[in-house]
Structure 1
Amino acid sequence: MLDIHSHLLPGVDDGAEDLEEACQMARQAVDTGTTGLVLTPHCNIPGGFQNPWSEALSQKLADFRQALQRLGIPLTLMMGAEVFGADDVAQHLASGRALTLNASRYVLLEFWTNDHPGRVARVLDSVSALGLVPVIAHPERYHFLEEDLSLARDWVGRGFLLQLNKGSVLGSFGRRVQGRADALLRARLAQVVASDGHSPYQRTATLHEVYVHIAQRHSRAYADSLLRDTPLRIVNNA
């Protein structure tokens, strides 16, 4: 399996606090079937984490890779960001301050849970105008998708990808969020499931449990697509 949304890069956001914790999370991921992982620290959040790409982040990535090699943890690390869809996000992407997923044309975007669909639409338009493909992080958390799936269908029809969180699918964030996630799965509108892992204790970076859940309730082929095939297509820029 391949995880395109994780917060393992240590000491940069609300994810892994230090290198030891990051390596612990990596070990958990590998032990449960993950072979590759995109590091996606929060980026461009108004009044919050900024994390523009920098030499400091590059060094943290190098240190993390060296630690995994030293510990014998066979996890391929790739770089990306969970980019907040602020009004100026296209400028940050065009300048390289905000990263796409593994230097591909796919960009992981998040929004406020109570965001306005009109503003979200303008941001998505500005990103797609750059020739990038929005991968919309955890759409099941957005209140404006609660009434019906027409907006999600429109996004998918435009070629955008919807990435569900493991915890949402498994019910960790309550029944309403789980219900929206299940509706997106049943409609086959979700194209990716990722861990959004933040900690070795809660919101872990493991995927096996959600793979089994989807394989049993939907199909093994769909689970393979969500957790292996489409993530591979993203990181390979296919």
Structure 2
Amino acid sequence: AYKRMVDMRLRDIQGLKYSDTTKDESVSKQDMLDDVLKEGYVYENFSYENIEFLLNISKDSALIERGYQRYMSGAKNNSFRKNIEPAYKNYKAVAKSAPAPNFIYQDINRKTISLKQLKGKYVYIDVWATWCGPCKMEIPHLTELEKDYAGRNIYFVSLSVDQQKDKSAWQKYVRSNRLKGIQVMADKDFKSDFIQKFNISYIPRFILIDPAGKIVDPNALRPSDKGLRKQLDGLLHVSS
């Protein structure tokens, strides 16, 4: 409750005094934290969450590099530093053009599917869960994509991070909604190796991989974003 109160107050301050539209929100937030809190556990905690969010969400590699270096130069809490260092290494390991880590999961029909099996085509991965409202809002758009790009050189994979105890609920949701594409479930939800290598802690998350198994975009556009079709058309040489 205390942390939430502090967070709300900091958001108010950020909105009033640190709303420079020329700056990324994470930068203005860190400016505010440096000015208002300066140091101490609460400062370290909010700074840690800020850089963690940046590593997960931002598409701007230069911004991430600057944010990480800024955080590490000021962070004193070893626990937070130890958590961010591997997250940053994972971010670098799954940057654009890097080989995508493999996964081996069961699909909705209990057939084993690996990412390596899908080489030869582009792979668009939707990381989602049945409990995630924003994820489910993307499903109709994804369904349209799957229909419009049927027969093209691309696989659509929906990767659930539902917990194993909810496997039957996932199966029921997929079947009752007649979801298409390749439907697989991660073996250990957010703790799954593939999920952790991509630093995924927020969903929905989308990943685009090329036919050689290299990462095109570790944080790809959503199905609801019209820019995705333009990108896919360019990659697949399909006239829009």
Same fold (TM over 0.5): no
State which structure, 1 or 2, has the greater radius of gyration over its C-alpha atoms.
2
TM-score by length of 1: 0.31
TM-score by length of 2: 0.31
